[in-house]
Each structure stands twice: as C-alpha cells, then as structure tokens.
Amino acid sequence: MSRLPLRVASAALLLASCGPSATPPTIAPTIEPAALRAASPPAASAAVEPAAAAPSAVPTADAAAVEAPRGPAVASSREEESAAAAATAAKSAKMASLPGGTFWMGERGDVVKVAPFSLDVTEVTADAYAACVNAGACSIAELGCGDAPTYGVAGKGHHPINCVDWNQAHAYCQWAGKRLPTEAEWEWASRGQAAGTKFPWGNHEPGARVCWRRSGTCEVGTHLEGDAPGGIHDLTGNVWEWTSTSYDAATRVDRGGGWSNTVAKTVRAASRGRRGPGSHYDVLGLRCAR
C-alpha cells in the first residue's frame, strides 16, 4: 500500500469513530504577528491623552547649557562694578583747600610764594593704588620691595602705598586727575601755612603724635594729634612723600620722614630728602595735589 491511501484511510476511520453528532475539533489558524497587528483595531486606551508631566526641578541638559555661561558673566559684571566703585573712591579722595602765601623755606633758605591749592588729606593708600592698577593706568613693578611692603598685603589696604618710584607716583596722580605737590606746597602745608611752625601740629617734639620708630607703616589718619591745619594727616611720619620738585639733575625731593625714622630732625616740616626717580623703598610713598 502506498503512503497516500494509508493517510486517507486513517482519516476516514477517525471520522467514523467520532459519530454523526460529534463536532470536529477547531484548529486555530496561524496568523503572523505583523498580520495580527494589522487586523486588530486600535486599543481604546490609545485615544486617551496621557497626563501632562509635572515640571522637573532639575534643568534639562539644554537648559543647563544655556544657563551655564551666566555665572562667569555675572561675576565679571560684579567685578567691573566693584573696580569702578574703587576707582571713583580713589579719584574723589578728600582734599583740603589751602590758601596761598609767602614764606621762608627752612633748609633751602629762600623766600617762596605759593598760590592757593588743594592737598590730599591722607597719603595714597594701597587700596587706592590698586584701583589705578586695575584700571590699567598704574604699574606694579617692584611694589614688593623691602621688609614692609603694603601693596596686595592682607590688612594693609588702608596703609599708605609704598615702594613706588617717582614715575609710578606721577602716573597715579595723573590718573586721579591730580598732580604731585611741589616741594614748596608741601612745606607750606606742613608748617601750618602762615604759622610757620617746626611741625604740622606746632613746635613740640613729635612723641606719639606720628607714625615713626616702628617696623612698618600705620593705617592712614590714625595719629590725629599730628594733623596739620586743614585736617591733613601724616604729613610727618608713616612714609616719605614724593614731590614734583627736582633736587638736582639726578634726584627728586621727597618730604616728611617715615615709619623707620627715630630722630626728630628728620620729621621736621623743613627736612628735605632726595632720591633717584627710579628708587623703590618701603619707606617711600605719595600724596597728590591739585
């Protein structure tokens, strides 16, 4: 018997055994998954809009990329505002207006006439000089000279700037809209103007009135008993001060004595000093006039 007739006979025997009332088994058709998806109607839930997601407290990557540059920009803006405020404060430092007059200069031994002028009430501070540096108008060359420099030193911002040479002092006053005082103007102020005293406060020895016999500078304006008329502080002691006057062809005049001096003669109003214009000393600073 061939294979095909045997299969037909087997199927006939199966049908006969089921009986006339039997229901043949249902065989589910095989449907490919892709076909099933195509034939199936869309799910009811697909028509329902999903609930809106709550806003996240964490910025997205795109937001972070946008916000990130603001930090440095804000900091830079604040730094610029701070620098501008410092420059304004430096340029508007209080000045005393002094009348002019004629007087005899002590060590020079000549009679000079001074026109009315204004003089800074304090020596230029380290903070004020830093404002000029930040503005790009002043140099920091050699400002770390000696044993007691003040520029950039913590706690010394209100001490007089020192270690500046004549050119740096001149540049600062120009930036501030002022100038260095002449030697005659400086002595006129320091001798109490028409009073003609030995010291800014009178003729008594300095004692504790001035910043001297020390190992470094003092905060400006802290020795009020040594003030000159007009409320001008520290004309003697603290730091020597550059003037615009030449002593000779090679040197410039500086005045006032400094923190390291120990002899009263050196802090007299008439006492003269001289240094090369390129000199840097931690006992040497400036104040401006107009």
Residues 58-114 pLDDT 10s = 444 444 444 444 555 666 777 788 788 888 988 889 999 999 999 999 899 999 999
- Residues of the chain scoring pLDDT < 50: 1-69
User: Residue 275 has which token pair?
Assistant: 């240094």
Q: Packing angle between helix 166-175 and helix 126-134, nearest 10 degrees? A: 70
8-state DSSP, 252: E
Question: 149 near 215, Cβ under 8 Å?
Answer: no
User: Residue 131 has which token pair?
Assistant: 């404002």
Residue type, 111: V
Tell me the whole-structure pTM to 2 decimals. Answer: 0.74
8-state DSSP, 196: -
Phi and psi at residue 228, to the nearest 5°:
-90, 160
Q: Which domains occur in the chain, in start order? A: 92-285 (3.90.1580.10)
Residue range 194-221, pLDDT digits in tens: 999 999 999 999 999 999 999 999 999 9
Coil/strand/helix, residue 246: strand
Phi and psi at residue 260, to the nearest 5°:
-90, -10
pLDDT of residue 202: 97
pLDDT of residue 84: 86
Strands 284-285 and 240-246: parallel
pLDDT of residue 27: 42
